[in-house]
Structure 1
Amino acid sequence: MSIVDVITAHYEASDRGDLAGMLAPLGPGTTWTEAAGFPYAGTYVGPDAVRENVFEAIGRDWHGYAFVLAELLHSGDTVIGLGSYQGTHRRSGKSFTARVAHVWKFDGDDLASFEQIVDSAPVVAATA
């Protein structure tokens, strides 16, 4: 399976709401960085930390939260997913759409890191 196939499978799992499938590419040493200013900002290591601090938190706080993939780019050991987030905050009832880039870096066949680059202003505004 190519690294593009691995990331495509992650996004397909996301579309299905399949958390195990979303976490499948992560190894125990994979770093996952949510952008500064984003509600879940920080760097988490391994699938359990990502599940707890990112995906479970998003599920708790948002209704209909989704990543909509617009384009997938590949160069060397890097795959970049361009798209947007959308969702409605459960407490405030406010919705948002925000542009985002996901940078996936591999070391051979292993996912080494994920970095989120996002316009967090609309996300934060929806929480108020």
Structure 2
Amino acid sequence: MRLTNYTDYSLRVLIYLALKKDFELCTIKEIADTYQISKNHLMKIIHELGKLGYIDTIRGRHGGIRLAKKPEEINIGEVVSKTEEDFHIVDCFNKENHYCVITSACKLKHILAEALLAFVNVLKEYTLEDLIENKGDLYQLLES
């Protein structure tokens, strides 16, 4: 299983914001510069995370972004499920656009579906708070 860059960057944004003290505001540019990610790409991610209710976006001169919930209230499995475009591990997972002559009798699809479910279920056991337990190390890496 491989997550898209979109989901990876979404999780990085949430980690960055979770490390801010007292829901302090920061800017998209700040996050983009820290992670060396395109600001334009992050703008789409920030917009979506706002629509999903994970972050607050405040417009204006003194605006910025911050977490909308406490880190312990943000479930990683839920974030991944909401930010991944699809979970088409192999073509036969895509009901609209696949062709495989053995699909109707193939056991692989069912095994992969079980593995995917296990993957998501493991992620559901963790929150954003779990990802920032090592705050000191993360601060050092993000500031260098």
Instruction: Quickly name the TM-score band, shorter chain normalised.
Output: under 0.3
Greater Rg by CA? 2
TM-score, scaled relative to structure 2: 0.24
Higher RCO (Cα < 8 Å, 6 or more apart): 2
**Structure with higher helix content:** 2
TM-score, scaled relative to structure 1: 0.26
**Structure with higher strand content:** 1
